[in-house]
Amino acid sequence: MTFAHNALAPPRASLATYLLSALLVFLALTSLPALAAAGGHVSEVNLVLPDLADSALVSFFGGISGWTLLSYGLLVAVGGLTFGAVIYRRIRRLPVHRSMAEISELIYETCKTYMITQGKFLLILQALTAVIMIGYFYFVQQLAVSEVATILAFSVIGIAGSFGVAWFGIRINTLANSRTAFASLAAKPYQIYAIPITSGISIGMLLISTELLIMLCIMLFIPASLAGKCFIGFAIGESLGAAALRIAGGIFTKIADIGSDLMKIEFGIQEDDARNPGVIADCAGDNAGDSVGPTADGFETYGVTGVALITFIMLAVPEAAVQVQLLVWLFAMRVMMIVASGISYFGNQMLARRLYGDKQRFNFEAPLTSLVWITSLVSLVITFIVSYLLMGQFAVNGRAYTDLWWQLSLIITLGTLAGAIIPEVVKVFTSTNSKHVREVVTASEAGGASLNILSGLVAGYFSAFWIGVIIVGLMSGSYLLSQYDLTAVINPDSAKAAMMAAVFSFGLVAFGFLGMGPVTIAVDSYGPVTDNAQSVYELSMIEQVPDVAAEIKRDFGFDVDFTSAKFLLEENDGAGNTFKATAKPVLIGTAVVGATTMVFSIVMLLTGGLTENLDKLSLLHPPFLLGVVAGGATIFWFSGASTQAVSTGAYRAVEFISTHIRLDAVVKASPKDSKKVVEICTIYAQKGMFNIFMAVFFGTLACAFIEPFFFIGYLISLAIIGLYQAVFMANAGGAWDNAKKIVETEMHAKGTDLHTASVVGDTVGDPFKDTASVAMNPIIKFTTLFGLLAVEMAVGLQAQGQQGVVIALAALFLIVNLVFVFRSFYGMRILAKKATV
């Protein structure tokens, strides 16, 4: 008996894309008279940056201009890029057996093909976004063609930045995975820890340095009248890149992971059995979801938070001298964060080598935890020192505010501490040492998969509560600190100043979250390396290589211990799972807190600088309340749609693998079958990502055109409900994942009913933690940034009495949005097999 189903085919994006692009161009052209008349409307993209080179305005250290001071930051950024390149060469030169190197190169080639496919698709999405950007900047703002081209160029640079750092991440991680696997053969755990964290810090340093270099170039070399617009274009581009790579990567990796994991239950084989055609796709997915997605996300998070603070300073602060001081201080802090991370990394490595270098066993989480805390403390000290040097003599109109430097430092410190405290809280719910995770295991022993899933849900719910409490506490602290000197200097209107200072302080908390940016990325990148290292070990079949022990002793100078190697790799993977989990809420929290600052920019636009329409920012204003409800609905649609794409893709993957796996007479799956599984993962990742992104794109346009304050409510709801949904899903998934790890590594219960229950829980958690939850971060920020342009177009039309046009466009955008919402579920359904004899 055979089974027939719909043939796999890539999404039909081309025709739809052309039609939608033509529609948007037509709308822009037909709306030209009204939009052009609105060109004088003042908004954040109209703001002109102050003259940083004017030392008469503000000078530092006895006469140095802000421009000169920030130009030194370029050297630090270049140094960070050099650091990443040096580490890359060092990782590449580490010893590795040829059998393992061949597998890691095969994984990289698969990842490379996936990235090329994604790159082509990103260009299609950029074309759609560019239509709106051209309509806004050319027709609404009436900029010259050359200026619009510059803004679009920075939008492309934003996408290229997200894409480029993501590519670097998979390249170095696929070198590190085989080196880590080979190092395990010596049964000395320190190197098994050192290689993944070294790979991770190189990604983190290169990522943050690239971001800083681009933003400094905009600040220093782009004309002041155009710089604000270029920042917006750059931020939209990197948000687009991160959103697409996060969604597609999350779908790809979980299709492959579930497809591979379920074979353990059906056929009773090992997780990375070389005969399983899904294993190569799973390895590629570890990079697509756990390396590409987080790296692009981190790049975008760092940039968008900076853009939000820059636009806020330009909107809220009327004094040019104060603007210069705050901008220079902000960028100087960013430069020093790279320095702090570098110092902390080298210091922690020296400490770890001294403590664990010769040990036969240690807790892999310990040096990772110390790295996070050391970086937090070093960042704290540097924050106060740099703030004192730059802001210690802060004065406005002849009046000195000598306490401002430590108040700002404390506000940032609250965010920096969050970057260390939140991972500790996450570990309470996701670590292999967590009581919650062990409760999942205990529940599974009596209640099987049912109680496993319920216990994981409980861990996720409680974690969301406690992280919410921490974020509220930190933001409350920042609010209280902001009501002193910051209120006095930020705006001469005391009523506005109190509100503006509070919002600015929230943005600084998000900024502090990112104070350990390179280290946050490093511990996150640790996970895909440790995960792949296990797979490389098994797929290389190193134990079956003739005379391999003697060969390694002769060529590399150490004795092989296969049993200890496998045990250490599995234990290290548990630490990798934990720290992948700890990084997610940090990035999610940053998105939400940073989005608060960006939403305030839209509020400033809609209220004429907080002088009108303030009554509409209330639950008593029906459109605002309806927007809040709509935002929550969108979060739950997104969670379902991304999970639906995983479910359908995994169904097809399992269907293919189970009918093509051969457990007799072969030692490895055929390359043809492995490539087919990769193809299935790629196709459903593309389909899912296209439907979701288009629904988000047109949903943003629809909400912005329905009513401006409806859109504000929508954004606020999207951020807040998205925060709790994302943290809940991420940590529930982390608990299920490490519960399985305990069953496998501590209880050695593979092949038992308990193991089956833990695998089922893990497969439920896969799309929770690595697809739906993590993609909410870039979706929230892309919606906010892109909506910034959309709502101004709607306001411009309304200002010219084109209310009917606005309503018609809102209806049209909503219809298109609902079409893609429908497709994201019903176009991705699992169809029953049709039996044919």
Residue 72 clears pLDDT 70, i.e. is over it: yes
Q: How far from 453 is each of 759, 761, 764, CA to CA, in Å?
A: 10, 5, 8
Q: How far from 796 is each of 226, 513, 615, CA to CA, in Å?
A: 21, 36, 21
- The lowest-confidence range among 13-27, 350-364, 622-636 is 13-27
Q: Are 788 and 232 in contact (CB under 8 A)?
A: yes
pLDDT at 611: 78
Mind listing the pLDDT tens digit for each residue in 527-563?
A: 899 989 998 998 899 998 999 999 999 999 999 999 9
- The lowest-confidence range among 17-26, 231-240, 728-737, 786-795 is 17-26
Mind listing the pLDDT tens digit for each residue in 438-464?
A: 999 999 999 999 999 999 999 999 999
Calculate mean pLDDT across residues 202-223.
94
Q: How far from 299 is each of 7, 166, 359, CA to CA, in Å?
A: 37, 9, 36
pLDDT at 33: 45
The C-alpha atoms of residue 516 and residue 143 are separated, in whole angstroms, by 38
Supply 450's token pair.
């049912």
pLDDT at 43: 56
pLDDT at 833: 62
Mind listing the pLDDT tens digit for each residue in 513-527?
A: 877 888 988 998 998
Residue 780 clears pLDDT 80, i.e. is over it: yes
Calculate mean pLDDT across residues 60-76.
91
pLDDT at 9: 43
Calculate mean pLDDT across residues 583-608.
78
Q: Are 141 and 706 in contact (CB under 8 A)?
A: no
Residue 666 clears pLDDT 70, i.e. is over it: no
SS3 673: helix
Q: Which amino acid is at 798?
A: Q
Residue 37 clears pLDDT 60, i.e. is over it: no
The half-sphere exposure of 771 on its side-chain side, counting CA atoms within 13 A, is 32
pLDDT band, residue 832 (cuts 50/70/90): low
Residue 732 clears pLDDT 90, i.e. is over it: yes
Handedness of CA 282, 283, 284, 286 (dihedral sign): positive
pLDDT at 45: 56
Q: Are 824 and 644 in contact (CB under 8 A)?
A: yes
This prediction has a pTM of 0.89
Q: How far from 790 is each of 235, 322, 795, CA to CA, in Å?
A: 15, 30, 9
Q: ∠ at Cα 521 (66, 780), nearest 5°?
A: 80
pLDDT at 665: 61
Mind listing the pLDDT tens digit for each residue in 153-184?
A: 999 999 999 999 999 999 999 999 999 999 99
The C-alpha atoms of residue 372 and residue 519 are separated, in whole angstroms, by 7
The C-alpha atoms of residue 108 and residue 170 are separated, in whole angstroms, by 7
CA 773 to chain CA centroid, nearest Å = 10
Average pLDDT in the chain: 87
Residue 39 clears pLDDT 80, i.e. is over it: no
pLDDT at 2: 35
The C-alpha atoms of residue 837 and residue 830 are separated, in whole angstroms, by 22
- The lowest-confidence range among 2-11, 87-96, 337-346 is 2-11
User: Widest CA span of the chain, in angstroms?
Assistant: 91
Count CB neighbours of 608 within 10 A.
11
Instruction: Compare 25 and 733 and report the one with higher pLDDT.
Output: 733
- Short-list 624, 664, 626, 580, CA closest to 267: 664
Percent of the chain with pLDDT over 70: 93
Calculate mean pLDDT across residues 411-420.
88
User: Which residue is associated with the tokens 């060529």?
Assistant: 555
Residues 6 or more apart from 385 whose CB is under 8 A from it?
Answer: none
pLDDT band, residue 778 (cuts 50/70/90): confident
Q: Are 304 and 788 in contact (CB under 8 A)?
A: no
Supply 725's token pair.
């949904």
pLDDT band, residue 610 (cuts 50/70/90): confident
Q: Which amino acid is at 346?
A: F
Phi-psi region of 40 (alpha: psi -120 to 50; beta: other; left: phi over 0): alpha
Instruction: Compare 325 and 138 and report the one with higher pLDDT.
Output: 325
SS3 513: helix
User: Which residue is associated with the tokens 């061949």?
Assistant: 102
Q: Identify the helix (H) or strand (E) that includes residue 701.
A: helix 671-706
pLDDT at 285: 86
Residues 6 or more apart from 561 whose CB is under 8 A from it?
Answer: 185, 186, 187
Q: What is the DSSP letter of 397?
A: T
Instruction: Find the helix packing angle between 773-799 and 708-745, rounded to 10°.
Output: 170
Q: Are 488 and 565 in contact (CB under 8 A)?
A: no
- Short-list 763, 627, 640, 760, CA closest to 702: 627
pLDDT band, residue 142 (cuts 50/70/90): confident
Supply 805's token pair.
């046009």
Mind listing the pLDDT tens digit for each residue in 251-294?
A: 998 898 888 888 877 777 777 778 888 888 888 888 888 888 88
Residue 781 clears pLDDT 80, i.e. is over it: yes
pLDDT band, residue 417 (cuts 50/70/90): confident
Q: How many helices (H) and strands (E) does the chain have?
A: 24, 6
Residue 143 clears pLDDT 90, i.e. is over it: no
Q: How does 438-459 read in b/e, with b if 16+ C-beta sit within 10 Å? A: bbbbebbbeebbebbbebbbbb
pLDDT at 574: 83
